[in-house]
Structure 1
Amino acid sequence: MAGMQLGVLGTGDVGRALASAWQAAGHDVVVGTRDPGATRTRGDWPDHLALATFADAAAGAEVVVNAVSGDRTLEALELAGHLTGKVLVDVSNPLDFSQGFPPSLLVEDTDSLAEQVQRAHPGARVVKALNTVNNALMVAPDRLPEDTTVFVAGDDADARTVVVGLLRDLGWRDVIEFPALEAARGLEMWMPLWLRLVQRLGSAQFNLRIVRSAD
């Protein structure tokens, strides 16, 4: 899709991977962090990725991507602001590691982190996506030997279309859309099984493939 202004919030593995991949696809990307100076002094920040505060990254973006950990998501988005009218892609998972591994879910069943984000920022157009795979597969689904499936959930049809386009730029071919943000509940609740599969398989390089009937 045509180049867009993207603000990716979060400087961890997920944020870096998404920012680098979308920049390579022709988008103008700024990565948001709480303290850009501290991030740069770590010495491992890629020179090709622009850094800014959460607020500045969001202010200049058409699409804001939340790649902050689930337990810090609401705080980070409050610091970011500038979300009204914008597509807000939530890739986080509401994981609680306070009792060790595997983590529990901070929210489940009758609510989701994505819905909490929408309630906190009612003017944003929240879409849940990419939270069901690890960061390496997010940006390179062809690492697996066959097509697998990624999911998009959101109330706003136009916002979902934008996100599907961004997923195509990453190489995703099989995208299933859910026309309600409520579906994020199931996407987030996949995580407990996903984490146990990582333990059992000894790798996070796997994904779901939805096989349709020929009928």
Structure 2
Amino acid sequence: MKITVLGTGGGARAHIAKLAELGHEVYVGTRDPEATLARTEPDMMGSPPFGQWLADHPGVQLRTFGDAATASDGIVINGIDGHNAVAALTAISDRLAGKTLIDYAVPFIYQHTPEHPWPTPWGIMPKLDPCDTDSLGERIQRALPDTKVVKSFVTQEQTTVVDPGSVGGGDHTMFVAGDHADAKQQATELLKDYGWTDILDVGPLVCARGMEMYAHMHSAIGFGLGQQFGGHFGIKVVR
């Protein structure tokens, strides 16, 4: 398949590399390809410049968000940061019409001054916005009514999403939510290709609220395990 990944951060790179390994034709979207390739410094998470990384992955094509979305023949994975995702996706809504958009972004706001801050090893914990009564996944769906949005991947580090067997032999749970059964089936099949055997459909896209809010618990578990950034662990729904 021709699959598009929007974004060039560490999570997006995990999907790009795995999809290429599985034999898919991979297109990567970024706001300004020339600027992306010109960067020489690591990103905020310490990942090497994308141009340097891309040189080790021949065949992967870097394009603008819109051109990359157009190249997909059905599946687009959203790795744009949550704060900018709705605006960036709205700008290319016509290129995403009729396609399945698998969204794993978390709506984190990093620059804020909470009354009761949560100190972490890397600074103050960001807040979620939206939260409780809305979700980023739902906002994306409202902005892109002709696109089939599926919320998934969001409850794990993306390196674990593409390699579930690296934790507990793969014996842990991944979730999908969305309002389109066929799109959720596409996401499920991709997860199976990644190696997932326990995939739980939690229902309509409104369930993205719980999946996104889990991000704080994911961090808390990682801290408890002594893992400062995210964490190499899984969660299992025991029936």
Establish whether TM, by shorter chain, passes 0.5: yes
Residues 68-117 of structure 1: per-residue CA shift (max 9 Å, x gap): 11111112212333111110110101111113521110111111100000
Q: Is 2:41 the counterpart of 1:17? A: no
Task: Map 1:154-165 onto structure 2 (within 5 A).
Answer: 154-165=178-189
SS at match of 1:194: helix
Q: Is 2:87 the counterpart of 1:60? A: no
Q: Is 2:211 the counterpart of 1:211? A: no
Q: Residue type of the partner of 1:129?
A: S
The 1-side partners of 2:54 and 2:232 are apart by 24
Quick check: 1:103–1:192 contact (8 Å CA) kept in 2?
A: no
The 1-side partners of 2:223 and 2:35 are apart by 33
The 2-side partners of 1:199 and 1:88 are apart by 31
Structure 2 match to 1:128: 151
The 1-side partners of 2:205 and 2:38 are apart by 38
Identity of aligned residues (%): 41
> Which stretch shows the higher mean deviation, 48-57 or 99-108?
99-108
The 2-side partners of 1:46 and 1:200 are apart by 34
Q: Residue type of the partner of 1:190?
A: Y
Structure 1 match to 2:208: 184
SS at match of 1:190: helix
Task: Map 1:79-98 onto structure 2 (within 5 A).
Answer: 79-81=91-93, 82-98=95-111
Aligned CA RMSD, in angstroms, stands at 1.3
Q: Residue type of the partner of 1:160?
A: K
The 2-side partners of 1:153 and 1:27 are apart by 24
Structure 1 match to 2:195: 171
Q: Is 2:137 the counterpart of 1:117? A: no
The 1-side partners of 2:155 and 2:191 are apart by 13
Q: Residue type of the partner of 2:205?
A: L
Structure 2 match to 1:77: 89
> Which stretch shows the higher mean deviation, 41-50 or 176-185?
41-50
Q: Residue type of the partner of 1:84?
A: A
Number of aligned residue pairs: give it.
Answer: 209
The 1-side partners of 2:124 and 2:156 are apart by 18
SS at match of 2:5: strand
Q: Is 2:53 the counterpart of 1:45? A: yes
Q: Please state how far the C-alpha of 1:174 moved relative to its aligned partner.
A: 0.6
